[in-house]
């Protein structure tokens, strides 16, 4: 079975400060890892993914994430947050041996205050 | 890009009626599409995997006779909520995987309200 944990329901930061959204995962085999962002009443927008290769992945809107196999983590980071980054963020994992099926974390609401 | 559309974006229906939601991949072909359900401020719950030309695979606890899925072409999957009840009110989101990309592209969602 595969699962994702996002330990923080909410993250609050001031604009211009670093933003980190935490994610840990559990899979039987090697993972594919993803971050998505959701704005109110909208579908999910893809931010970035880790498939293989460099552990540091750079994605859309200045976000990046680091795959840490020993800690089974894939934390999302942004060096300088913007008010427009306020949204709901989902981490997702797919076991390479479990065709197609994505498992999502519970989501983390990010609020960036001006 | 890889764009997925859904129609309608929102629908209100009366209890006992059926509602069809369409999911289209606009600029790529998708042999597999997915249907999710999302409750307010909660995560996405996979309902079923829709395979072009074959029967959908439903997740445990999802009634296949209530949530009918048809994937008639490489760009279109439909979800029909039959005999809808107020508890079926939810946000339904579809996604499609672009071959070789390993990532799913999500539609904008459909807000269903059953009165």
**Which tens digits make up the pLDDT trace of A7-56?**
999 999 999 999 999 999 998 888 899 999 998 878 889 999 999 889 99
Q: What is the pLDDT of residues A72-98, one digit of tens each?
A: 999 999 999 999 999 999 999 987 766
Give the number of other Cβ atoms within 10 Å of residue B10's Cβ: 11
Residues of A in contact with B95 (CB under 8 A): 44
Q: Mark B74-83 as b/e (b = at least 16 C-beta within 10 Å).
A: bbbbbbebee
Q: Looking at per-residue confidence, does B75 or A96 come out higher?
A: B75
Most A CBs within 10 A among B43, B51, B95, hence the mutation to make, goes to B43
Strands A10-14 and A87-95: unpaired
Q: What do you get for the CA distance between the two ends of chain A, in Å? A: 41
What's the CA gap between B58 and B35, in Å, rounded?
Answer: 10
């Amino acid at each position: 079975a595969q699962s994702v944990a996002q330990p923080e329901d909410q993250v609050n930061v001031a604009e211009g400060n670093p933003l980190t959204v935490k994610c840990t995962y559990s899979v039987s085999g090697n993972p594919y890892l993803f971050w998505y962002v959701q704005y109110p009443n909208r579908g999910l927008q893809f931010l970035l993914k880790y498939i293989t290769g460099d552990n540091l992945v750079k994605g859309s809107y200045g976000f990046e994430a680091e795959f840490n196999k020993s800690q089974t983590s894939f934390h999302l980071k942004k060096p300088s947050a913007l008010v427009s980054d306020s949204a709901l963020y989902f981490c997702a994992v797919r076991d390479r041996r479990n065709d197609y099926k994505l498992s999502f974390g519970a989501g983390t609401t990010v609020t960036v205050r001006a | 890009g890889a764009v997925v559309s859904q129609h309608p974006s929102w629908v209100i229906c009366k209890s006992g009626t059926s509602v069809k939601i369409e999911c289209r991949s606009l600029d790529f072909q998708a042999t597999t599409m997915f249907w999710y359900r999302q409750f307010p401020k909660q995560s996405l719950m996979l309902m079923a995997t829709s395979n072009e030309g074959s029967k959908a695979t439903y997740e445990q606890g999802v009634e296949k006779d209530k949530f009918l899925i048809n994937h008639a072409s490489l760009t279109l999957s439909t979800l029909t909520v039959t005999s809808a009840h107020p508890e079926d009110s939810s946000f339904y989101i579809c996604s499609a995987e672009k071959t070789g990309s390993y990532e799913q592209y999500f539609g904008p969602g459909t807000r269903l309200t059953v009165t």
